[in-house]
A and B are shown apart, each in its own frame.
Chain A
Amino acid sequence: MSNTILEANGLVKKFGDFVAVKDVSFTMQEGEVFGLLGPNGAGKSTTISMLTCLYPPTEGEMRVFGHDVVKDAAEVKKLIGVVPQDIALYPTLSARENLRFFGEMYGLKGRDLKERVETVIEYVSMGERAKDAVKTYSGGMKRRINLAAGLIHSPKILFLDEPTVGVDPQSRNHIFESVERLNKEQGMTVLYTTHYMEEAERLCHRIAIIDRGQVIAMDTPKNLVGMLGGGIIQVGMVRVDEEILKAVTGLSEVRTASYLPQVETEAGISSKVVLKVEARQHSNAALVQLIQLFNQKNVQMISLETLEPNLETVFLHLTGKSLRQ
């Protein structure tokens, strides 16, 4: 994994006055599964759209295998496969007919085309239903054919844009296994966007966390989670207390502490104040110290929540909000 095959430098995309992507930069190594993790509207799909030749960036440059994505789009298109978020298939045609058509669009023909169609159908385990119209499939089966259509021409890089949205657990698992097999058995490089942290954690070698069009953190899942130390504890209080904040920050098992911005609900600004505490090693040890301190200072806790260190917590830590907000 040392050969850089995709570079995105300073990507900016504006739609009128709206800036969908602000200064996104990253690279991908050959054989890597790279994740773009972020909530809906974070700019993941716009970034993928630019990389797959759908939109030119307003600023910045992109290279795939050394080809400029804007200037050499025709070359780039041959090297990439795209699995869009939508079920981008003709519902009245069968899986085989859909795959045949998309194969033809990549210039496949004759025996090659026939073989590739059968190979990808087998790959996604849809052999028995391949002659049926796509509209008769379950959501998960459609997703599998959607994936197969992106693989029909044996791309070097596969772009998967939220491929598991609206999928049942069984089909989701099938998609995970397919991606893992593609990567391990064929060494395929994959760019995977999702707002599910479990998917990113399971599949990706490296992850860029993206929010409001910007990459706010990028590393391996282990290192990203490691940023949090022992995890996060959230203490609900009735009011802001600067004295207790100072005391908490001084605890030996606490790395940092700060008040979260007050949450706006339908009824107005919440009266509850949340103190976010980042544990140094183990959240349990920090928790014991916190409870003792609050008892000593006679400060009321109205809620207490321990967040395990994972990518969801990392996102919360970095943005102050959850991935699903």
Chain B
Amino acid sequence: MRLFKIFTNELRRLRKDTFLFVALLVMPLVLMGPALLSYSDEGGEEVEATPLMVANYDTGQVSLDYIAELDENLQIEQNFSGELLTQYELQNDPRCATISPECDEAVGRARMADKSRQVLMIIPAGLTTAFDAGDQTPVVLLYDPGADVILTTQVEKISQGLAIKVALTKQLENAKGDFTDLSSIGSPEVKAEVNKITSEPLPANSKTAIHVDEVSPASYKEVEPPGLLGTLVPGYATMFAFIIIMFINSWVHEEKSNGVLRRLLTTPAGRADLIGGKMLFGVFVNFAQLVILFGAGLVMGASRGMEFQLDIPSLLLLSLALSMSATSLGLVFASTKLPPSLGLAPVFIGAILGGCLLSVDFLPPYLRVLSYVTPHYYAVLGYQDALIRGVGLAGVLPEIGMLFVFALVFFGFSVWRFDMLES
């Protein structure tokens, strides 16, 4: 069949084109490897929390509670001394004669200046007093505008939570006082009962009003949280699968401009053979690319003690559906007059919208709507189902179905629009 001859010829072209061969099959692996290794949070290694420098001028309990609360989620750095002072030439600075908030602030500012730290919190003197008096006191958060926005948001939210907690505690203590005062006009029995209630310590579990218990839905299998590695593999693999768009587009463009497509149309090979052969080639290469990427990702994950739901049938079907949708999208681009270099646009725009690089929850609502019309979204969702949620083939079928629908729509469009005579 001519379709298969076209397919084998495309494979021959790929084999002869070292740059394309490397770009399609090796480059994604090369790019994904370091990215995955950099997120080495699997395998029992203790990951250091994000550092937060604190210069505390307050001497009261509120600031200590505040720092203790922050310390649960961040790595608090204060009371600087020793080599760090020498490093920033502060060893002879009068502010650093003893451990002091002034010295902490000086070191903190110096470390921000050389970009080795991104956030410095300055707690003013009298915070506790002001708090007890019910006055608002500003806490300064000095941050690098290029800092990780998640860190600053985290500090902000912990501060808000702590403020509410302390305020409520204070209100409760005031209420207890009022209650005791009111009991003085009651009978001795009432007084004794009130004394008993108000003098009882709070139960140990009353420290937090809400306890977050992490439980997966019943339809999901319980697995160890996969961490960043597990979430990166589906996203990266999906993004790189769409690189085929650029190459299909570039190859077809070359065949149009050098007249090969015209020549082929004068042979008994039909339009269906030509488009079908290219589709088959794209799907084959794309599928191989995904197998390599997932193979490498899974081996890397497994070597770090990561637990995957290795649902092979779901992974294979998903990869096939993804390959078909990516290749047919490539044919859609090849059917337009857009320059081949623009083939990169759907790769990256689709990756951003489809949640390959960052969860779609981070997108503004109007862009999130667009996510649902990208095949990337369903591919990432499907891979997460198969690798992380462990829902089985039946659970992944909706995503597989959506990817096949995309493939069908794109392929239909490209067959309709494909102008082989255009040069």
A88 interfacial contact with B, CB 8 Å? yes
B95 CB, min distance to chain A CBs, angstroms: 69
- By the criterion CB–CB under 8 Å, are B12 and A97 in contact? yes
Q: Is the interface of A mostly helix, strand, loop or mixed?
A: loop
**How extensive is the interface on chain A, given as a class?**
20 to 34
Contact check: which of B5, B12, B266 meets A52 at CB < 8 Å? B266
| Cα separation A295 to B2 with both chains bound (whole Å) | 75
Residue A89 at the B interface, CB < 8 A? yes
Tell me the bound Cα distance from A53 to B68 in angstroms.
Answer: 82
Task: Decide if B266 touches A77 in the complex (CB within 8 Å).
Answer: yes
- Contact at A86–B266, with CB atoms within 8 Å? no
The interface bits of chain A over 59-92 (1 if a CB of B lies within 8 angstroms of the residue's CB, else 0) are 0000000000000001001101010111111111
- Point out the residues of chain A lying under 8 angstroms from B196, CB to CB: none
Question: Which stretch in A101-109, A198-206, A301-309 binds the other chain?
Answer: A101-109
* B259 A80 Cβ-Cβ under 8 A: no
Q: Is the CB–CB distance between A133 and B16 below 8 Å?
A: yes
A107 to B270, CA, bound (A): 12
Indicate whether A89 sits within 8 Å of B258 (C-beta atoms), given known contacts A101-B5, A133-B16: yes
Write out the residue numbers on chain A whose beta carbons fall within 8 Å of the beta carbon of B208: none
B264 interface hit (Cβ, 8 Å): yes
The 8 A CB mask of B250-290 against A (1 = contact, 0 = none) is 00000000111011111111000000000000000000000
In terms of DSSP, what is the predominant structure of the interface of chain B? helix
Residues of B near A86 (CB, < 8 A) are 258-259, 262, 423
Residue of A nearest to B423 (CB): A86
Q: How far is the CB of B51 from chain A (nearest CB, A)?
A: 53
B171 within 8 A of A: no
Are B259 and A84 in touch, CB under 8 angstroms? yes
Q: Is A54 an interface residue (CB 8 A)?
A: yes
A54 with B268: CB separation less than 8 A? no
Known: A54-B421, A90-B13, A92-B16. A105 touches B267 (CB 8 A): yes
* Contacts from B to A (Cβ < 8 Å): 2, 5, 9, 12-13, 16-17, 258-260, 262-269, 421, 423
- Tell me whether B2 and A54 are in contact (CB under 8 A): no
Whether A87 contacts B5 by the Cβ 8 Å rule is: no
Task: Report yes or no: B268 in contact with A77, Cβ–Cβ below 8 A.
Answer: yes
In Å, the complex CA distance between A89 and B262 comes to 11
* With A84-B262, A92-B17: A105-B12 Cβ-Cβ less than 8 Å: no
- CB-CB nearest 5 A-B residue pairs: A86-B259, A88-B259, A88-B263, A105-B267, A92-B16
Residue from A55, A82, A133 having most chain B Cβ neighbours under 10 A:
A82
B269 close to A105 (CB less than 8 A): yes
Which residues of chain B come closer than 8 Å to A90, judged between CB atoms?
A: 9, 13, 260
* Residues of chain B with a CB closer than 8 A to A52's CB: 266
Complex Cα spacing A105 to B9, Å: 11
Which residue from chain B places its CB closest to the CB of A87 in the assembled complex?
B258
State whether the Cβ of A21 lies closer than 8 Å to any Cβ in chain B: no
A210 to B423, CA, bound (A): 24
